[in-house]
Structure 1
Amino acid sequence: MSDLTAHHVGLTVADLERMVEFYRDSFGLDVVNRFTVSGDAFATAVDVAGASARFAHLDADGVRIELVEYEPEGETRTDPELNQPGAAHLGLSVDDVDEFFASLPEGVETLSEPQTTSTGTRILFVRDPEGNLVEVLDA
């Protein structure tokens, strides 16, 4: 068996440009690559008839975050609660959660103000414009 290494964390989005703007402007992530994939092999691999997709890769300090917008677009999912099986979130660390919280652009939804957990970790959960959860925690 080949050696396994992590390549990316992916989020399927409805509006690629809006989501790139959000992650770039709210989190300071750099866009490192953009591309489109289509054709029979791609449609077969993702099991979506006639699929094509636009991609943007963002760099989160060495972790590649892949935003992908599919055509045809699937059904929009409801916002999952964190305690629901299958719920997912992206975790990003910052030097100071409170400073990050204070610097968030107006209108960015959070689940609460920053909190300190029983382990002493300072955390904050943010929803991106499409409802995906992002955990921000002290580095």
Structure 2
Amino acid sequence: MTVPTAHHVGLTVSDLEAAVDFYRSVFDCSVVAEFSVAGDAFETGVGIDDASARFAHLDLGSVRLELVAYDPAGDDRPAAELNESGATHLGVEVDSLDDFYRSLSADVETISEPQTTETGTKICFLRDPDDHLVEVLELDA
């Protein structure tokens, strides 16, 4: 049996440059790869006629974040609430959530200020330019 290994977490975005700028500025991560994919095998593989896409892979420490902008673009979806079936989010751990929160620029949309849950984990959710939910957390030491 082949042993599975996680490779990346992918987010479809409407504007690749804006998404890369957001994640680089908010999380100080680097771009490790940028590429485009098209052709019959890609169209068949993703199940979208005439599909092509531009990709950016970002290094978030233990996770590679794949941002993808498709052509043709699909329809916009309303921003999901966390308690809706099918809702997803990306989790990013930081050393000090309070310091991270204070460093956010005013244009970054957050759901609340940092909160400490009953497990001792401190959390704060924010939204990226495409309304993807990002949980920023500080684990209880």
TM-score (norm 2): 0.97
Name 1:16's counterpart in structure 2. Answer: 16
Deviation at 1:62, TM superposition (A): 2.7
**Which residue of the partner structure matches residue 123 of structure 2?**
123
* Letter aligned with residue 32 of structure 1: V
- Aligned-residue CA RMSD in angstroms? 0.7
| Same amino acid, percent of matched pairs | 59
The corresponding residue for 1:42 is: 42
- Counterparts of 1:67 and 1:108 in 2: how far apart (Å)? 18
Distance 1:67 1:51 in 2: 16
Q: Deviations over 1:22-80 (max 9, x none)?
A: 00001111100000000000000000000000000000113100000000000001000
Which stretches in structure 2 are left out of the alignment for 5+ residues?
Answer: none
Q: How does 1:1-139 map to 2 (within 5 A)?
A: 1-139=1-139
Give 3-state SS (helix, strand or coil) of 1:100's partner: helix
- Runs of 4+ in structure 1 deviating by more than 6 angstroms, as ranges, are none
Deviation at residue 90 of structure 1 after TM alignment? 0.2
Query: 2:70 aligns to what SS in structure 1?
Result: strand
What's the CA shift string for 1:89-115, capped at 9, x where partnerless?
000000000110000012100000000
Partner Cα separation in structure 2 for residue 81 and residue 126 of structure 1: 12
TM-score by length of 1: 0.98
Consecutive unaligned residues in structure 1, runs of 5 or more: none
